Amino acid sequence: MNEQPLHHLDTLRARQPRFRGLESGHRACQGCGEALAARLTTEAAGPDVVVANATGCLEVFTTPWPQSAWRLPWIHSVFGNTAAVAAGMEAALKQQGRATQVLAFAGDGGTFDIGFQALSGMMERGHDVLFVCFDNEAYMNTGVQRSGSTPHAAMTTTSPPGELRMGKRHMKKDILSIIAAHHIPYAATASVAYPSDLRKKVRRAMDTEGASFLQIHSPCPLGWGHEGAKTIEVARLAVQTGLFPVIEMERGELIGTLPIREPRPVSDYLKLQNRFRHLFASEYRARKELEHLQAIANRNIERFELRGIGSEAYDTEGADTVHRGGDRWA
């Protein structure tokens, strides 16, 4: 083992040409998509922000006292009140005449379910807050229970498959439509598989005055049952199959999508994850649910007109092209 001398790494770390909002040493699982999403979000948001964070994995793995992985002012209050805490911070900063921007972070549970009311109120009142939902499609921190965001047919500890069930009976809540109904200036979805797009959306949301919302699809290797190394691949496939549409809305109107160049069959995505394993049994109900999920993807593609028209620089294949020297487009 040829370890690098430490002092060298310390100075190197301090000199990284990007803002390190989320520092090393946090305790997320190996390959955690949520940790990556939070890292990308905070480095795009920059240091002049304050963050309110809901209870959940992100909160727990970043701040086991006396340590904190954050390098920005950050507060965790409880599970369901994040949008309200953020609203309070925003009101305070506004009164103080400070330009510091306010972010709210929550998991899908803290967004779709328990935190929804506060979120709705915050948006309705038009606080200048960017609410970021790290969507890992279940209550991960408490051990993978289903949430309003868990996709149809997925296995969780509270939606187990069995003789009578094929995983979650209900659909994934269409949160963005609900958000859109609040008529806020900017709402979007993003994925850790498309970091440039994600960062661009964070900046765009921060530049927007008023409430904005960003839902980031963030695979959870533990809860979804895939290798930590495949987090990005899984996230990419969610987008490329149409199961997770990447879209942008202004005032509730669709203004942009990440077009899918060549839609992949949903099974390409599902088969990488243990939470969908029961859908690959050779039985009628498994085949039926697989087709059901394919139909959901098809409907997403239709509804948001996700089907691309040939090769484009900004589509599911082109949006994350790399170049020598690392000059990503955002």
Partner 1 sequence: MALALEGSQALARTVALCRPQVVAAYPITPQTHIVEGIAKLVADGQLACEMVSVESEHSAASVALGAAAAGSRAYTASASQGILLMAEVLFDISGLRIPLVMTCANRALSGPLNIWNDQQDSMSMRDSGWIQLYCATNQEAVDTTVQAFRIAERCELPVMVCVDGFTLTHTLEPLELPSAEQVDAFLPAYTFRHGLDPSDPRSLGTLVGPEHFSEVRHAHHQAMMSAQTAIEQADADWADVVGRHCGGLVESRGDPEARLGILTLGSVLGTLEDAMDSDPELPRARFIKLRSFRPFPADALRKACEGLDHLIVLERALSPGAGGIVGPEVQTAVIEMAEPPRVHNYAAGLGGRDLSLDLYSRIVQAAVGAERPREFAIIDADPELLPESDR
Partner 2 sequence: MIQIPPGAFARPGTSLEFKTGTWRVERPVHQRRAAPCHSACPAGEDAQAYLAKVELGDMRGAWETVVAANPLPAITGRVCHHPCESACNRAQYDESITIHGVERFLGDEALRQGWSYPVPIPGAEAPRMAVVGSGPAGLAAAYHLLRGGCQVTLIEAMPAAGGTVRTAIPHYRLPPDVLEQELDHMLALPGLDFRLRTQLGRDVSLEELRADHEAVFLGPGRRKGREWSADFAVPGNLRTGLQLLEAWVAGGTLPEQPRSVAIVGGGNTAVDLARVLRREGVEQVHLISHQRIPAPGVPDDDAMRATYREVSQALEEGVTIHEHRGVRRLILRGERVVGMELVHMKKLEDAGGRLRRVAFEGTETVLHVDQVIPAIGQDVDGTGFESLVRRGYMEVEPWWGTVNGQSGIFSGGDARSDHGTVSEAVGDGRRAAAAMLRYRAGRQLEPGVPPEPIPYSDLNLSYFETAPASKEPVLPPEQRLGLEEIEGGLQANAVRHEAHRCLSCGDCLACDNCWTLCPDQSVLKTREVAADGSHYVFDYDYCKGCGICAHECPTGYIHMIPE
Q: Which of residues 19, 20, 91, 93 is near partner 2 by CB under 8 A?
A: 20
Contact criterion met (CB below 8 Å) for 87 and 129 = yes
DSSP letters spanning 241-285: HTSS--EEEETTEEEEE--BSSPPPHHHHHTT-GGGGGGGSSSHH
Q: Residue 213, SS3?
A: strand
Query: Quick one: tokens of 13?
Result: 């770390």
The Cα 10–Cα 46 span in angstroms is 21
Query: Quick one: tokens of 252?
Result: 């509730």
Orientation angle between helical segments 33-45 and 195-207, nearest 10 degrees: 50
Q: Does residue 78 bind partner 2 (CB under 8 A)?
A: no
> In terms of Cα–Cα distance, which of 152, 144, 146 is closest to 172?
152
* Cβ distance to partner 2 smaller for residue 19 or 165: 19
Q: Does residue 166 bind partner 1 (CB under 8 A)?
A: no
Residue 77, contacted partner among partner 1, Mg ion, partner 2, none, CB below 5-8 A by kind: partner 1
As a whole number of Å, the CA-based R_g of the chain is 20
Q: Does residue 147 bind ligand TPP (CB under 6 A)?
A: yes
Contact criterion met (CB below 8 Å) for 143 and 163 = no
Residues 91-130 that bind ligand TPP (CB under 6 A): 106-110
* Cβ distance to ligand TPP smaller for residue 146 or 199: 146
Residue 222, contacted partner among partner 2, ligand SF4, ligand TPP, none, CB below 5-8 A by kind: ligand SF4
The Cα 277–Cα 222 span in angstroms is 14
> Hey, what amino acid is at 221?
P
Residue 128, contacted partner among Mg ion, ligand TPP, partner 1, none, CB below 5-8 A by kind: none
Q: Does residue 47 bind partner 1 (CB under 8 A)?
A: yes
> Hey, what amino acid is at 67?
Q
* Shortest distance in whole angstroms from residue 14 CB to partner 2: 10
Select the span of 2-10, 93-101, 182-190, 243-251 touching partner 2 (CB under 8 A): 2-10
Query: Quick one: tokens of 235?
Result: 């996230």
Q: Does residue 32 bind ligand SF4 (CB under 6 A)?
A: yes
Q: Does residue 30 bind partner 2 (CB under 8 A)?
A: yes
* Cβ distance to partner 2 smaller for residue 250 or 320: 320
* Shortest distance in whole angstroms from residue 15 CB to partner 1: 19
The Cα 8–Cα 159 span in angstroms is 49
The Cα 151–Cα 156 span in angstroms is 10
* Shortest distance in whole angstroms from residue 29 CB to ligand SF4: 3
Q: Which of residues 92, 181, 229, 281 is near partner 2 by CB under 8 A?
A: 229
Contact criterion met (CB below 8 Å) for 172 and 153 = no
Residues 50-79, one symbol each (x = binds ligand SF4 by CB under 6 A, - = not), give -------x---x------------------
DSSP letters spanning 136-184: -SSBTTTTSB--TTSPTT--BTTB---SS--S--SPPP-HHHHHHTTT-
Q: Does residue 181 bind partner 2 (CB under 8 A)?
A: no
Beta bridge partners of 131: 104, 213
Q: Which of residues 70, 112, 244, 269 is near partner 2 by CB under 8 A?
A: 70
Q: Does residue 175 bind ligand TPP (CB under 6 A)?
A: no
Classify the C-alpha dihedral 56-58-64-70 as positive or negative.
negative
Residues 71-110, one symbol each (x = binds partner 1 by CB under 8 A, - = not), give xxxxxxxx-xx-xxxxxxxxxxxxxx---x----------
The Cα 254–Cα 141 span in angstroms is 33
Residues 197-236 that bind ligand SF4 (CB under 6 A): 220-223
Q: Tell me which residues touch ligand SF4 (CB under 6 A).
A: 28-29, 32, 34, 57, 61, 136, 140, 220-223
Q: Tell me which residues touch partner 1 (CB under 8 A).
A: 47-50, 52-53, 59-60, 62-66, 68, 70-78, 80-81, 83-96, 100, 117-118, 120-121, 124-125
